[in-house]
Amino acid sequence: MTEDKKVEKNRKKLAGIVVSDKMQKTLVVEVNRLLQHPRYKKRMKISKRYKAHYEGTGYSIGDKVEIEETRPMAKTKKWVVLPKTN
């Protein structure tokens, strides 16, 4: 007997701050992380911006959001905003 099993991979999740909501169905989320220099041991703050798919209207600039990796939806949009948890 063969059953169709859906195997869901562990997708990457990141937390960041919304820096732009000007595009339709898209938020730009900036994710900050600390990285230590291999030789000098100084900690550096590295930031990167991700475009994430979002069809609602609940988030605005400055809100903290969590994004999850998904299939490519556009050339640079490969993340989706997770719903609020409260």
Cβ-Cβ contacts under 8 Å for 59 (sequence gap 6 or more): 18, 21, 27, 65, 81
Domain encompassing residue 73: 13-81
Report the CATH number that the domain containing residue 40 is assigned in CATH: 2.40.50.140
Number of compact structural domains in the chain: 1
Rg (CA), the chain: 16
Whether the predicted pLDDT of 14 surpasses 60: yes
In the predicted model, is pLDDT for residue 18 greater than 80? yes
Rounded to 5 degrees, what are φ and ψ at 57? Answer: -130, 20
The amino acid at residue 77 is K
Query: Is the per-residue pLDDT at 86 higher than 80?
Result: no
40-72 pLDDT, tens digit per residue, is 999 999 999 999 999 988 899 999 999 999 999
pLDDT at 56: 85
pTM of the model: 0.82
* Residue with tokens 């609602």, as numbered in its chain: 56
User: Residue 53 has what pLDDT?
Assistant: 97
16 CB burial (10 A radius; 0-12, 13-18, 19+): buried
Domain contains 45 = yes
Q: Mean pLDDT score of the chain, rounded to an integer?
A: 92
- The percentage of the chain sitting over the pLDDT mark of 70, rounded to a whole number, equals 90
Tell me, yes or no, whether 6 lies in a domain: no
> Per the domain annotation, does 38 fall within a domain?
yes
